[in-house]
Amino acid sequence: MVSSQPTLQADALQEVHAFWLAGMSCDGCSIATVGATSPTAESLMLGNIPGVPKVVLHHPVLAVEAGDEFMAPHHLAAAGKLGKPFVVIYEGSIGDESLNDINGGYWSALGTKEVDGEHQPFPTADMLKLMAPYAAAVIAIGTCATWGGIPAAAGNVTGSMGLMDFLGKDYRSALGLPVVNIPGCAPQGDNVTETIAAVLLFLQGIGPLPEFDSLGRPAWLFTDTVHQTCTRGGFYEEGTFAKKFGDKECLVEIGCWGPVVQCNINKRGALNHLGGCMNIGAPCIGCTMPGFPDNFSPFYTKPPGTIVSSTVSKTTGYFIRNLRRFSMMYANRTPLWLKNNHVPSGWGHVEDASHLQKVAHYFYNKIQFNNSVRPGSKPRNKTSSTKAIDEVKQQ
């Protein structure tokens, strides 16, 4: 922590103020956050979560106050005079306001400040710069605030950037934290509220400092790739791929970057544990990653890595898939049907097992029941399981 910075004692907090600043944003992060369910934004604001101090939210859209009444706490916090602990939550990327020095204007603003006797828009970038040293934590939410996002894509004339770039490598909050980053376009709402709750528990002195990775992302949310938790992963493994939108298989050949994207959307769903990109048929376009969008364009075309990975999985998947279908054939028959080699279904004709299939199944069973007892048969030799039962009986 920089020694000249203000410090904050984090004991027995009753409430923590949260200043929600919006830069170059579409408000999607706000919408995602108010839709969170675990925990809900309401439970944070009502102080309903044991151990988590009540959050007093100052949000430009959700606030009941307006005008000077709404802005007054902002100015106190920016001057280090709020007298209460607070965090800054920033949504949207930060335009380089110095670009406006010559022609005037601003990229994004909140409230006004007096310039030469006139009220001029107060750039949110300036507000952030003033508040950041006094804040217990600065939390960037959404890909625009974390890495720059779409406003910082190629052709960007606004000089847009994320909070890490804006505040710099040496920035530390009043409690010594670098910027916390929760990416996503929009971020998963629960990722936002859960991280805020975890940080507040830490500030309260109850919870440990949550684990963050080297880019300031909550490690428990952003270490695994989309692919590692995808509901379509089985199709990838068996080498079957969607050819068009609406197909049920793995989407990698129509543009899914999931194997190299760190995001938990498949595991957590988009809202209330439902939805999520791949779950509803949309290939991952890398929206949580620092390189988004440029490094993942053009969208909906095969990522170059697919040439190797899907070719390999098509080859190995072909054999694995057919071996599994063979096992499934027997798994789909009752012991009686197997004995009679006939399935009495009125729904359709079910093929009887061929001689080759019967022989293969015989050896499959040998391996399956090696060192254990096949249901309905008497053990010829003592197996490890029958030995264990004998030992228990003797005790």
* Binding-site ranges for ligand SF4 (CB under 6 A): 226-227, 230, 232-233, 236, 250-252, 256, 258-259, 278, 284
* Smallest gap from residue 232 Cβ to ligand SF4 (A): 4
Q: Which is nearer to ligand SF4, 5 or 297 (CB)?
A: 297
Closest-CB residue for ligand SF4?
258
* Smallest gap from residue 311 Cβ to ligand SF4 (A): 14
* Smallest gap from residue 227 Cβ to ligand SF4 (A): 4
* Smallest gap from residue 88 Cβ to ligand SF4 (A): 33
Strand, helix or coil for residue 377: coil
Q: CA of 194: how far to CAs of 34, 140, 161, 201, 375, in Å?
A: 12, 14, 25, 10, 48
Residue 293, CB-side half-sphere exposure with 13 Å CA sphere: 14
Closest CA to 260 of 268, 271, 270, 252: 252
Q: Which residues fall within 8 angstroms of residue 300, CB to CB, at 6 or more apart?
A: 254, 255, 283, 285
* Smallest gap from residue 284 Cβ to ligand SF4 (A): 6
Cα angle 14-16-17, degrees, rounded to a multiple of 5: 140
Q: Which is nearer to ligand SF4, 86 or 296 (CB)?
A: 296
What are the helix (H) ranges across the chain? 28-34, 41-46, 67-78, 100-103, 124-131, 143-147, 163-167, 189-203, 219-222, 233-237, 265-268, 306-331, 335-340, 355-368, 384-394
Q: Which is nearer to ligand SF4, 148 or 258 (CB)?
A: 258
Closest CA to 186 of 155, 145, 219: 145
Q: Which is nearer to ligand SF4, 32 or 226 (CB)?
A: 226
* Smallest gap from residue 262 Cβ to ligand SF4 (A): 12
* In the block, residue with structure tokens 């995808």: 230
Tell me the C-alpha distance between 209 and 180, whole Å: 12
* Smallest gap from residue 190 Cβ to ligand SF4 (A): 20
Give residue 81's region: left, alpha or beta (phi > 0; psi -120 to 50): alpha
Q: Which is nearer to ligand SF4, 173 or 264 (CB)?
A: 264
Q: Which is nearer to ligand SF4, 252 or 343 (CB)?
A: 252
Q: Which is nearer to ligand SF4, 137 or 278 (CB)?
A: 278
